[in-house]
Amino acid sequence: MSTSVDPGIRGVFDYFQNLNLLVLVEDLRQGQTARRAWYARGQLCPVAHGLPAEQQVREACSADLEPGHLNRACIFAARILGAKPEEVVHFVECWDCDRISDNELREQLELLWQERLVDAELMQEFLVDEREVKEVPFEHYPSAIA
């Protein structure tokens, strides 16, 4: 496993909410993600996992159904995610052409998740330290005695 997240993967999946990212990782582990479709046989493609609402998945699917409109669906998804459209298009093309395996993507996303955990732990430590510095017992406030 690589030690850093591929920029192409980061450019798409960095925008996913934590729960969406974790569900995608588990679906990849179980082999339950769609290829060459936004939604197929009850499975979502990796990018569709990041869309926050079912209606948005439907819109991406309907845009993709029109011949030659993969880019339109990718641009729509990129706009919803906050990602660059060209990065979403590139990822989807690689995914649909099997240039990225389920395991490769899962490993990359697990690295991304680990980065998030480290960031969260560091922020938690910072917040705890700040709280300890700012917490002064109530009796030390002059207005509290008066």
Say if residue 138's pLDDT is above 60: no
Q: Does residue 2 belong to any structural domain of this protein?
A: no
How many domains, the chain? 1
Residue-number span of the structural domain to which 118 is assigned: 7-145
Q: Does residue 102 belong to any structural domain of this protein?
A: yes
Q: Does residue 1 belong to any structural domain of this protein?
A: no
d(CA 67, CA 87): 21
**pLDDT in the model for residue 146:** 46
**Which residue has 């609402």 as its token pair?**
53
Q: Is 69 helix (H, G, I), strand (E, B) or coil?
A: coil
With 0.85 as the threshold, say if the pTM is over it: no
Say if residue 110's pLDDT is above 80: yes
Q: Model confidence over 39-93: pLDDT tens digits?
A: 889 999 999 999 988 888 888 887 765 555 568 889 999 999 999 999 999 999 9
Say if residue 35's pLDDT is above 90: yes
Q: Does residue 71 belong to any structural domain of this protein?
A: yes
